[in-house]
Every structure is written in C-alpha cells, then in structure tokens.
Amino acid sequence: MAPQRRFLTSPFGAHAQAALPPPNEELARVGPGTPCGEYMRRFWHPVAQTQMLGDLPVPIRILGEDLVIFKDRSGRIGLLERHCSHRGTSLEFGKIEDRGIRCCYHGWQFDVDGAILETPAEPEDSPYKGKLYHGAYPVIEHGGLVFAYMGPPDKKPPFRKFPQFEDPHLKMSLAEGMGGNPKPCNWLQIMDNVVDQVHEAFLHAQISGPQFLNDDGELLEELAIEGEDDYWETPHGILCHEARRVGDHMWVRSIEFVCPNVVQLCRIPHFPLEESNAEETAYGVVATRWRVPVDDTNTVEFAFVYSDLDETEAYFDKPWPADISNAAGRAYEEAQRVPGDFEAQVGQRPIAIHATEHLATSDKGVAMFRRMVREGIETVQRGDDPRGITRDGAALPNFACETVKRSPPAATPAADAEQLRDYSREIRDRSLAATD
C-alpha cells in the first residue's frame, strides 16, 4: 500500500504533490488471480438480466473476464469464455442451438457446461469431442436476474437469498434498465458510498436539493438534517445508522451492507408524522442492489425493488431524483449544478487513490468496509469461506430497519444527541436479536 499523503502546510503547494501515488492494488484489482478478484469470485453475482437473452448471444465482461451469455433453444442459460477454444473467434457471433452454442468459424459446438459436443471437419476419434471442455461458469436465474459463480468449483456456495426474495406479500421488480447501470469507475468507490451515511445529508439534500422521495412522491426535506451516525459489524457485513431529530420524532435511517457488494435499502418514512397515533413505526427493505465489478475501472449495478402486491409501481412512475442522478446520460451542466452519486463516485478518478485521501471521524463506515474486504481476502487466501457465505442454504437475515419513534427533544442539544444515539443502538440491538 502506498504511504498516505499528508495535508499541505503552505499555500499554493500543489507542485509538491503533483506526482500521484498508485491505487490500492490489493483492494482495487479484480482480475483472475488478484487478491480481491479471487475474494469476489467466492460469491454469486448478477451478471445479466433474463430479458437480455434473445435469439443472439450477448457479450459481457465481468471481473475482468470476457464472456458470452445466451439461452439455448431448450431454455438453458450458458455463460462461456467468449473466445472459442479452437481458434479464438468470439462466440458472440456464434449460432444458438437446441443444445448450447456453435462457433461461426468452424462449427464447433459447446454445451452450457462447456462440454465440446461437435467438432465438424475433425475425425470421429478426435481427442476433443465428448472428452474435453470449453471454459464455462454455472448460472442461476432468479427474479429476472442471471447470477453466476466464477470461483473454484469445489468452493461453490449455495445461491444466496434474502427473506424478501420469497415473501408472498411482496412484488419483486427489476430496478435498472436493460444491461444494468454501468459506471466507469472501480467498484470500491461505489461501495464506499454505501457505508457513508453522512453523504446523504449533503450530496442528496443540502448540496443538490432533496433527491429522495417518500412513498407519497414528495421530496424528503428532512434528509438535510445532520444526525448522529454509527456503524456496527454484523455476521454478514455492516449495519449503518443515521439518527435524526425531526420535530417530536426520532428517525433512524438504516442501511445494510452485505459482503462483498450488496446494499439493502429501506422504505422512507412519511413526514410529518403528527397525524399518526403510533408511537413507533418500522419500515422494511425496499431495494437490494449489487455493484458488480466489470473490470478494474468499470462497474455495473443490478437491483431488485419490492412493493406490496396492491401497490402501484411508484419507483418507476415517479423515480427518485437520487436514482436519476445515479446514472450516466444527463447533460454535463445539469450534472455540475445538481450532482448525484454518479458524479461523486466517477469523479474520484477511474480508480480512487486511497493514499491521497484524509479519512475523518465521519468515515468510520468506509474504514470498516475496507478492513472487511482485506479480512475477506485473507480468509480466502487461507482457504476458508469469507464473511457473507453460508452453507445451509437459509436466507440471510435483514438487519436494516428504518424506524421512527415519537419522542420529544431532550432538554439540551447534547442530551438530545445522546438520546438519538441511544435509540439508534436500541434499534441495532433489536435487529440483531431478532435473528439470533
């Protein structure tokens, strides 16, 4: 790791630090054989949407590998190394068959598990046909997303689920457009954003104006209130809280990071709450989002959003400004005047250089997340399962729970801040205890 740069002690001193240190090679690189790449390969990742798979193969790039994904005419999904193992022609130009895919160049046919089915123009006793395999990865389709496992076959864990995946009272929808939401930057700076509760009050409220909506489609002005943030390890990641004072209510904003690249977001309360007689109201998970490394300098986001069976799709009918500004395509001047997550994340360079940062007390979650990635890398290097892997096939519990409680302010600002912190810890304890 490159040594940390210090703050300058004199004005107009940029020349002294014009030469940039290298990025954090251990955490940023995700290709095959890299420490972080091998850590990421121990998990199932969404790599495509089912609706992308028509009558033509689709080239994709994931974790620095060039692949091709397709659905053969019998309905099975294949994820293969993109370049034919005969002479290297890209299988994106191949022909989808009843069973697998056929290379356009010399007609070699590969099954979804990579088995070489046919080698036209070769003798019947060819050493390839029926004996050897082209590179392939296992896939699972769930809810319109195709997930792939790209690690060692003997380490493959069960497909990881969350409770909302199979909740009969919820409707699950895809949140991103065709192909997901691509971002031209390293995956780490996107995940840093997840465990940074403090940025919401500034980027998504004070700086760019309110960018979140409640369920009524109204701008959430209350997000601009600066609260008391805290972060705790869970068995599978980090629970992030920001406790705010909103009139006679305490509001605990709750977000969960699940190793290595998942965020669970909760529904947002309605304010004001004076018309409610409830002393406390809890809001469950509304979205699960993955940030999947394409390579070292590109990432793609996929997500599920959840709604009650009788709800209209408010997420799509009236999208949050925060989601609009979380993607490319806006006019440059608009992005400058009203930046969002996309600009904040991509603006840290293609790979953020940690040695130029000066982490502060509000970056506790970021520091915890990076330590957790290092811990995961070390665990994999020992040959063990990293945090977030379960072998029993049970759904991972949800620890995120957005909560609002009626409680007048304490006598002094300091006492009220402590009251907010106490309530935040109480919600944490309840969330963890509910899954014991």
For residues 104-131, average pLDDT: 94
Rounded Cα distance, 291 and 411, in Å: 43
- Residue 308 has what pLDDT? 86
Q: Which residue has the tokens 């980090």?
A: 238
Residue 177 pLDDT class (50, 70, 90 cuts): confident
For residue 186, CA distances in Å to 63, 199, 298 come to 11, 19, 6
- Residue 34 has what pLDDT? 98
Omega prior to 152 cis, within 30 of 0: no
In one-letter notation, the amino acid at residue 10 is S
Q: Which residue has the tokens 């465990």?
A: 195
Task: Answer whether residue 79 shows pLDDT above 70.
Answer: yes
- Distance of alpha carbon 75 from its chain centroid, rounded? 28
Task: Answer whether residue 1 shows pLDDT above 90.
Answer: no
Task: Yes or no: say if 51 and 178 are a contact pair by the CB < 8 Å rule.
Answer: yes
Task: Yes or no: say if 340 and 326 are a contact pair by the CB < 8 Å rule.
Answer: yes
Task: Answer whether residue 312 shows pLDDT above 80.
Answer: no
Rounded Cα distance, 176 and 302, in Å: 6
For residue 221, give the nearest of 271, 266, 267, 265 by alpha carbon: 271
Residue 89 pLDDT class (50, 70, 90 cuts): very high
| Ordered DSSP codes for 268-299 | ---S--TT---SEEEE-EEEEEEEEEEETTEE
Task: Yes or no: say if 340 and 181 are a contact pair by the CB < 8 Å rule.
Answer: no
In the chain, what percentage of residues exceed pLDDT 90? 83
Q: Which residue has the tokens 């193969």?
A: 57
For residues 386-402, average pLDDT: 94
- Residue 271 has what pLDDT? 78
For residue 402, CA distances in Å to 56, 92, 167, 179, 210 come to 43, 45, 19, 30, 18
For residues 334-358, average pLDDT: 96
- Residue 110 has what pLDDT? 98
Q: What is the pTM of this model?
A: 0.94
Residue 6 pLDDT class (50, 70, 90 cuts): confident
Helix, strand or coil for residue 433?
helix
Task: Answer whether residue 86 shows pLDDT above 90.
Answer: yes
Q: Which of 188-202, 216-230, 346-360, 402-416 has the lowest mean pLDDT?
A: 216-230
Hey, what are 361's tokens?
């007390």
- Phi and psi torsions of 154, nearest 5°: -75, -5
Rounded Cα distance, 291 and 179, in Å: 13
Element (H, E) at 369: helix 364-381
Helix, strand or coil for residue 213?
strand
- Residue 182 has what pLDDT? 97
For residue 349, CA distances in Å to 19, 213, 389 come to 15, 29, 31
User: Longest Cα pair distance anywhere in the chain, in angstroms?
Assistant: 89
Task: Answer whether residue 275 shows pLDDT above 60.
Answer: no
- Pick the more confident residue, 268 or 60: 60
Task: Answer whether residue 117 shows pLDDT above 70.
Answer: yes
Task: Answer whether residue 294 shows pLDDT above 90.
Answer: yes
Cα–Cα–Cα angle for 98, 176, 286, rounded to 5 degrees: 115
Domains along the chain with CATH numbers: 44-150 (2.102.10.10), 163-433 (3.90.380.10)
- Residue 44 has what pLDDT? 98
List, in sequence order, every residue forming a beta bridge with 140; answer none if it has no partner: 147
Choose from 34-43, 160-169, 310-319 the range with maximum mean pLDDT. Answer: 34-43
- Which parts of 33-88 are beta strand (E)? 44-49, 58-62, 65-71, 77-81
- Residue 9 has what pLDDT? 85
Task: Answer whether residue 277 shows pLDDT above 80.
Answer: no
Task: Answer whether residue 22 shows pLDDT above 80.
Answer: yes
For residue 187, CA distances in Å to 63, 108, 178, 182, 364 come to 10, 36, 20, 11, 19
For residue 376, CA distances in Å to 27, 41, 187, 263, 388 come to 10, 11, 16, 17, 9
Using CA atoms of 230, 233, 239, 244 in order, give the dihedral in degrees to the nearest 10. -10
Q: What is the mean pLDDT of the chain?
A: 93
Residue 422 pLDDT class (50, 70, 90 cuts): very high
